[in-house]
Structure 1
Amino acid sequence: MAGLTGRVAIVTGGGQGVGLGIATALAAAGASLVITGRDAAKLETAAGPLRAGGAAVECVAADVRRRADAQRTVAATIARFGRLDVLVNNAQSSHPGQKLEEIDDDTIALTLESGPIGTLYHMQAAFPHLKERGGSIINLGSREGIHGGPGFGIYAAAKEGVRALSRVAAREWGAHGIRVNVICPAALSPIAVKYLDEHPQEAEIYRKEIALGRFGDPVSDIGPVAVFLAGDDSRYVTGQTINADGGLMML
């Protein structure tokens, strides 16, 4: 695949799990990075190996639920690197495992604000810079939204909201050379690990549904998909959802 040398990427929720896996893969392809998250210490810990590997990495402690934080993240990116080429909206908070009738207002607010609303804030903040030379937005969806996973009601709604925003943005911003795509991963993020540990019987059923028989690795299985979507090899791909899930969903 074409490399990402000279490109600059923001990865929200880049301090752990799938976000860190994507950041690691983008760095290996040559990109400079801004990683965000609410825990500054966790971000610096994550950035250490990336910097040791030669990547330029800026850490921005931020809450994706706040428009001002999204704007501050983009401003910090431009101040450090002078450009922005790739935006990865990965951050998402939720409390899975609740039936629809049990979902409370705090969970609704947390999930929607960190999902589609936070994604929109970052897309809006990034737009003026991405349209300067074209670029790539990669948003994270979920099988639970497509499939309708029991116990994932508000999370599923949030992730389908992200996919809807992505399709609209692909149509509206294509004229500016901005491509917008979605990855739906099946990978061992911290939220996924916690849920699977708490629901071992469901975890085994879930694993057996994956055609390749295993959960994905954030770096080696999900990261390369993001590298493809970030670079020139996918220059004619936009408005698409890629299920990087080992054959869990086949559409």
Structure 2
Amino acid sequence: MIHMRLQGKVGIVTGSGSGIGRGIALAMAKEGAHIAIVDINEEKSNETLKEINQYTEGMLFIRDISKPENIDGIISDVVAKFGKLDILVNNAHASRQALFSETTMELFDLSFNTGFYPTFNFMKAAYPELKKSKGKVINFASGAGIKGQPTQASYAAAKEAIRGISRVAANEWGPEGINVNIIAPIALTEGVKQWSQSAPELYEEMVNNIPLRRLGDPEQDIGRTAVFLASEDSDYMTGQTIMVDGGSIKLY
């Protein structure tokens, strides 16, 4: 059910050409938000933009945001087009798995340069506009960091670092009316679908370890949680990690 809870809002979603980011971008567009897609994959991003434009007006930035200079100008261009910025979703992240003893500085660089540093840089760049709009920041963590998933040292470290700066920003920016929250998802993305076909037994084992016995849908489950966090319904929440993982991890 669509309620248009984000009517007239303006958001940026990184990594929104596909996967969870695409799901969030579409969920927000269907609720009335103008969405700026930021992604490195031009073909997939254009497909997402076409879908967004069926519901509202979007814009597109094809950028490699692991390079800080490629973030320059995105905020100002969005504000020039739509007049403001209300929502920042830092979803983009890339990493590779390795045993702890085989994890290299190059793997840490990949994870931090594509996930942690872009999150930090976008938050700093967006802060003046979010202060004006009393906006919402949605960052992404992972059960891999919260549980300490084997083979995920570089990814877990970057995700927990994102949680750390999110809590700091929530405390510093709260008095200015900016909410900063975190989603830790499990989702059936294109990559997971490919993996499920190559390793069906491992996939079935993973699903059976989720209390709700399924993976989340990028739009209906993860995206609609992001809509809630971007809307006025979450105005009294900040600094929180929201587990959208079918009950896999219970925080207290």
TM-based fold match above 0.5: yes
- Paired residue for 1:178? 178
RMSD over aligned Cα atoms = 1.5
- Kindly report which structure 2 residues correspond to 1:182-221, keeping only aligned pairs within 5 A, or say none: 182-197=182-197, 199-221=199-221
Q: Could you tell me which amino acid in structure 2 is paired with residue 247 of structure 1?
A: G
- TM-score if structure 1 supplies the norm length? 0.94
C-alpha contact (below 8 Å) 2:84/2:133 kept by paired residues: no
Give yes or no for contact 2:138–2:180 (8 Å, CA) kept in 1: yes
Q: For residues 242 and 117 of structure 1, do their structure 2 counterparts lie closer, same or farther at Cα, with a shift above 3 Å needed?
A: same
Partners of 1:195 and 1:84 in 2: how far apart?
37
Moved more, 66-75 or 134-143: 66-75
Counterparts of 1:159 and 1:64 in 2: how far apart (Å)?
17
Q: CA deviation at 1:195?
A: 4.9
Equivalent residue pairs, number: 249
Read off the aligned partner of 1:124 and give its amino acid letter.
Answer: K
* Deviation string, structure 1 residues 175-232 (Cα, Å, up to 9, x no partner): 1111000000110224444555555443222211111100111011111100000010
Segments ≥4 residues shifted beyond 3 Å: 190-202
Aligned counterparts of 1:199 and 1:102: Cα–Cα separation in 2: 23
Instruction: Name the amino acid aligned to 1:163.
Output: R
- Structure-2 residue corresponding to 1:68: 69
The corresponding residue for 1:3 is: 5
- 2:24/2:219 contact within 8 Å kept: yes
Show the counterpart of 1:225.
225
CA offsets, 1:72-103, max 9 Å, x none?
A: 2212211211100000000000112x101112
Q: 1:56 corresponds to which residue? A: 57
Given residue 78 of structure 1, which amino acid in structure 2 is its aligned partner? V
CA pair 191-76 structure 1, distance change in 2 beyond 3 A? farther
**Structure-2-length-normalised TM-score:** 0.94
Query: 1:116, 1:165 within 8 Å by CA — same for their partners in 2?
Result: no
Matched with 2:84 is 83
Tell me the amino acid that sits aligned with residue 204 of structure 2. E
Q: Deviations over 1:33-66 (max 9, x none)?
A: 00111122221111112212x2111000112222
